[in-house]
């Protein structure tokens, strides 16, 4: 029997929402403070996903305040297809509220936003048999809306409070047969996260609660995948049902540290007595019958194209004056817009870390600049491999502390920089209790999630504990992003590679 591995989209791609058009599937995720926003993926089988763009890819669509805190911004988008057109609705927390954009093509261009005065986050879209559009938001409330004018026509009505757990949110509303199903997340987006469902004969309600709620949760288990929730249902082209949802993969000693952010997982769904049901989210599942391999995306960027690939993101904005692919053809040139990575306003272009074990390399010509590679969670949590002033150094920013960990002279000219992230010897989650720890020889296991090794040329400068670049330490909703930066004058990068490594 064929199998697929979870997550189906690794790394900081949370809050998945999916729609199907014929044999094609399209999925969007939250992007928070990063620009461009709302990454969009395409698949033919729900397993292999390829990023085809970003929905909010120009400042007119996504204008985040310069000082917006990390983990604010774009929350929980929903994508739907109706009458030949794609719609994406989301909430920009701290940057304008709820908005909708639309397009004839999933690759875009997408329209400018239509804004709604609708309290709440995690908005959803569904159409009834009359063609009226309904929007559900966290709370859980439901309203009938006018997509073109951005107005609320009816409601919002209190729909269903969930089962009594905290933070009922992430509603998705579906018309399936004679019922309207309301799928929500509750229990908080940490280890207590879960999926619950209710149904009604009308989107207005009243809703009855499924007898087996929550229909999916991994709370209080030792499963390697945790925080399962924020799900979206989809019926495949062959008639089978599936659920895309977020989860985390914590590692290391208690309490466990997840460093990649909340990732996208896939689980099969069956129907029993008119209710959707599912088993636990496993690392390996039987594959959908429509499984067709897709080529893996390239892991090397030589910066030879006319524009940046859609995987590249920057915190809050990416001014055109801060980067160039044409000033030095075949190189990415970065111009400093701020003197430090410790505050917003700096020049940084990076991509998400998607594998626990990986190797990142770049060739940099610093000239007279200061810049290099950084492993970033936010302004207060990052490790930097920095070149400038004739030296290469490692800088660790952990909360209020900023420390130069290592430094050595460097001859002028281009230099190869490398970051190796490895979990070899790291304590697995199943060995996190104190009695199991006592049974192991002292020093065999490290208790952080991974080790980050920063090197220039062939010589490592430092090995740092990865726990300080985790959500459990830094808090927030994002995951690691690794990339290139400049904090003084202009630096150029010839190529950048990201390579998964077998642990």
Block residue for tokens 């938001």: 137
The one catalytic residue among 15, 263, 386, 465: 15
φ, ψ for residue 322, nearest 5 deg: -90, -10
The whole-angstrom separation of Cα 245 and Cα 341 is 32
Task: Give 421's Cβ-side CA count (13 Å radius).
Answer: 25
Nearest to 167 by CA among 183, 193, 187, 184: 187
The whole-angstrom separation of Cα 211 and Cα 387 is 60
CB-CB neighbours of 446 under 10 Å: 18
User: 137 near 145, Cβ under 8 Å?
Assistant: no
* C-alpha distances in Å from residue 340, one per residue of 26, 298, 305, 314: 37, 31, 29, 15
Angle (CA) 48-49-52 rounded to 5° is 150
Nearest to 260 by CA among 83, 29, 10: 10
Sheet holding 347-352, edge to edge: 347-352, 481-488, 370-378, 381-388, 391-398, 401-409
Active site includes 458?
A: no
The whole-angstrom separation of Cα 100 and Cα 148 is 9
The whole-angstrom separation of Cα 295 and Cα 52 is 13
Q: Which helix or strand (DSSP H or E) is residue 473 part of?
A: helix 471-474
DSSP secondary structure code for residue 339 in this structure? S
Block residue for tokens 């917006």: 68
The whole-angstrom separation of Cα 336 and Cα 187 is 42
User: 196 near 186, Cβ under 8 Å?
Assistant: yes
Nearest to 229 by CA among 283, 188, 275: 188
The one catalytic residue among 169, 263, 365, 386: 169
Cα Rg of the chain (Å, integer): 23
Active site includes 129?
A: no
Catalytic residues: 15, 169
């Amino acid at each position: 029997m064929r199998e697929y591995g979870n997550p189906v989209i690794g790394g900081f791609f949370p809050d998945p929402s999916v729609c199907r058009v014929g044999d094609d599937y399209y999925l969007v995720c939250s992007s928070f403070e990063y620009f461009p926003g709302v990454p969009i993926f395409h698949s033919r089988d729900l397993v292999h996903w390829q990023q085809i763009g970003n929905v909010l890819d120009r400042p007119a669509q996504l204008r985040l305040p310069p000082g917006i805190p990390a983990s604010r911004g774009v929350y929980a988008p929903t994508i739907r297809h109706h009458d030949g057109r794609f719609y994406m609705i989301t909430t920009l927390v701290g940057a304008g509220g709820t908005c909708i954009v639309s397009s004839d093509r999933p690759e875009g261009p997408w329209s400018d936003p239509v804004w709604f005065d609708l309290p709440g986050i995690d908005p959803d879209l569904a159409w009834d048999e009359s063609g009226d559009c309904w929007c559900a938001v966290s709370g859980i409330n439901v309203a009938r809306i006018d997509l073109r004018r951005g107005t609320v026509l009816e409601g919002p009505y209190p729909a269903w409070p969930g089962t009594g757990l905290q933070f009922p949110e992430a509603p998705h509303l579906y018309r399936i047969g004679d019922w309207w199903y309301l799928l929500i997340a509750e229990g908080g987006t940490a280890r207590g996260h879960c999926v619950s469902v209710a149904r009604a004969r009308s989107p207005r309600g009243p809703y009855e609660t499924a007898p087996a709620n929550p229909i999916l949760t991994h709370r209080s288990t030792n499963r390697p995948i945790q925080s399962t929730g924020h799900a979206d249902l989809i019926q495949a082209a062959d008639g089978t049902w599936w659920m895309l949802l977020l989860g985390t993969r914590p590692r290391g000693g208690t309490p466990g540290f997840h460093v990649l952010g909340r990732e996208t997982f896939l689980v099969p769904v069956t129907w029993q007595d008119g209710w959707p049901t599912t088993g636990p989210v496993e690392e390996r599942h039987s594959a959908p019958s429509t499984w067709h391999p897709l080529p893996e995306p390239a892991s090397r960027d030589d910066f030879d194209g006319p524009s940046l690939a859609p995987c590249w993101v920057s915190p809050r904005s990416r001014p055109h004056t801060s980067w160039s692919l044409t000033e030095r053809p075949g190189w990415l040139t970065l111009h400093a817009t701020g003197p430090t990575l410790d505050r917003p306003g700096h020049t940084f272009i990076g991509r998400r870390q998607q594998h626990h074990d990986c190797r990142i390399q770049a060739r940099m010509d610093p000239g007279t600049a200061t810049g290099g590679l950084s492993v970033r969670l936010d302004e207060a949590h990052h490790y930097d491999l920095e070149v400038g002033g004739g030296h290469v150094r490692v800088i660790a920013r952990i909360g209020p502390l900023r420390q130069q960990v290592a430094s050595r002279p460097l001859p002028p000219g281009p230099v190869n920089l490398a970051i190796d992230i490895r979990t070899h010897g790291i304590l697995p989650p199943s060995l996190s209790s104190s009695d199991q720890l006592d049974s192991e020889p002292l020093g065999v296991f490290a208790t952080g999630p991974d080790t980050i090794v920063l090197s220039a040329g062939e010589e490592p400068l430092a090995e740092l504990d990865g726990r300080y670049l985790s959500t459990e330490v830094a808090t927030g909703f994002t995951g690691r992003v690794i990339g290139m930066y400049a904090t003084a004058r202009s630096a150029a990068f010839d190529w950048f590679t990201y390579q998964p490594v077998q642990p």
